[in-house]
Amino acid sequence: MDSIIGTYECKVDAKGRLMIPAALKKQLTSSLKDGFVLKRSVFQPCLELYPMAEWNLMMQKINKLNRFVKKNNDFIRRFTAGVKMIEVDELGRLLVPKDLIAFSKISKDIVLSSAVNIVEIWDKELYEKSISGDDVDFADLAEDVMGNINDDNGIS
């Protein structure tokens, strides 16, 4: 799958349904028939929406872990905690289960944010706080993460 692009603001109703914005839905068209997996994020108070093809790739990696190593087994349990298979209905709505709404502290206003090959689903206030930069110097982070990656010509 190609990378997903964009950040979209929308609302979730009292039942936990959200309408996928048209521009995002268009990018996910090839994934709509196969469905999605929705899970808790490992590092952030948000949810991660995996197209089924991306989830299957992740599971191939995880299935290589030796389950007789306690650390691996603990990781698998926590990584898959609260995982739900999700389908988008004919109106383009996605239902977020109540336990995942509680985990992510989602209220009415939410943000759907692309994260390369998945979509993060955030409570809008928590999303704004996470990208505000108050706790992280983004320039230093960018250098640490991407500073040693060069293309074939030695140019980033």
DSSP result, 92-155: SEEEPPHHHHHHHT--SEEEEEEETTEEEEEEHHHHHHHHS-SS--HHHHHHHHHTT---TTS-
Residue 84 is which amino acid? K
Instruction: Give the mean model confidence (pLDDT) for residues 25-39.
Output: 93
Start-to-end Cα distance in the chain: 24
pLDDT category of residue 146 using cuts at 50, 70 and 90: confident
Per-domain boundaries in the chain: 7-125
Q: What are the tens digits of pLDDT across the range 76-126?
A: 999 999 999 999 998 999 999 999 999 999 999 999 999 999 999 999 999
With a pLDDT cut of 70, the percent of the chain lying above it is 92
Q: Buried b / exposed e across 41-60, counting CB within 10 Å, b at 16+?
A: beeebbbbbbbbebbeebee
Which is it for strands 93-95 and 84-86: parallel, antiparallel or unpaired?
Answer: unpaired
pLDDT at residue number 156: 47
Dihedral sign from CA coordinates of 8, 38, 82, 73: negative
What fold characterizes domain 7-125? Chemotaxis protein chec (3.40.1550)
pLDDT at residue number 138: 74
- What's this model's pTM, rounded to 2 decimal places? 0.88
Q: What are the tens digits of pLDDT across the range 41-61?
A: 999 999 999 999 999 999 999
